[in-house]
Amino acid sequence: MNDYFKHESAYVDDGASVGRGTKIWHFSHVQSGASIGENCSLGQNVNISNNVIIGNGVKIQNNVSVYEGVEVEDHAFLGPSVVFTNDLTPRAEYPKGHDNYLKTMIKKGATIGANATIVCGNTIGEYAMVGAGAVVTKDVKPFTLVVGNPAYEYAKVDEKGNIIKKF
Ligand SMILES: CC(C)(COP(=O)(O)OP(=O)(O)OC[C@H]1O[C@@H](n2cnc3c(N)ncnc32)[C@H](O)[C@@H]1OP(=O)(O)O)[C@@H](O)C(=O)NCCC(=O)NCCS
């Protein structure tokens, strides 16, 4: 008996771990070696790839694939259709293999807005915020809101997401 909820259309592969109170909704897939903390929510059509670590209290909205090489800390929020990457210069003919994926960190309490793209190798700082549709190409400082393509610093935000000061 699991102490998490999984909709009947979702798959959790052998060798994945899912914490108590987490909910996994329709058509989602958690792959082997992934570790998901407690009280998380995975919306519809979410994929958590092999060996990905997700902390506690993380909310992942519909249509997000969290690829190997990405780590998501406690209470982060991933908006609908956020896009992650793990290879900066991929070629179908010359795969680099998972040992060469670039690491992407989503730190505690950070928010990624709808449809934003996070280019791999970057860290989104604690309680930082990424605006809808942004393309993040550099690290984002803690408590900083970035918007645009390429994403630029737009404001300071507090822990609750209020905009404190626009640049
Ligand atoms: C970035 C964001 C936090 C800004 O909020 P805000 O400061 O209240 O924004 P405003 O509506 O006052 O807009 C301020 C300016 O920034 C621009 N702007 C707002 N959001 C933007 C975005 N995502 N990308 C680029 N520019 C944006 C506005 O066009 C406006 O420009 P102007 O001053 O030239 O007219 C918000 O627009 C956003 O993208 N939130 C994410 C929502 C989301 O994805 N939620 C997911 C869960 S449903």
Q: Are strands 152-157 and 163-166 parallel, antiparallel or unpaired?
A: antiparallel
List pLDDT tens digits, range 25-68: 999 999 999 999 999 999 999 999 999 999 999 999 999 999 99
Pocket of ligand 1 (CB under 6 A): 79, 113-114, 131-133, 145, 147-148, 163
Distance 42 CA to ligand 1 centre (A): 25
Residue 15, pLDDT above cutoff 90: yes
Q: What is the mean pLDDT of residues 117-143?
A: 98
Instruction: Tell whether pTM > 0.85.
Output: yes
Query: What pLDDT is attached to residue 1?
Result: 59
Q: How many Cβ atoms from other residues are within 10 Å of residue 155's Cβ?
A: 17
Residue 4, pLDDT above cutoff 80: yes
3-class secondary structure, 153: strand
- Sequence-distant (6+) residues with CB within 8 A of 117 are 82, 83, 85, 134, 135, 136
Q: Which residue is closest in CA terms to ligand 1's atom 37?
A: 131
Q: What does the mean pLDDT of the chain come to?
A: 97
Question: 37-46 b/e with 16+ CB inside 10 Å = b?
Answer: bbbbbbbbbb
Ligand 1 atom showing the smallest separation from residue 115 Cα: 44
Residue 119, pLDDT above cutoff 70: yes
Query: What pLDDT is attached to residue 161?
Result: 98
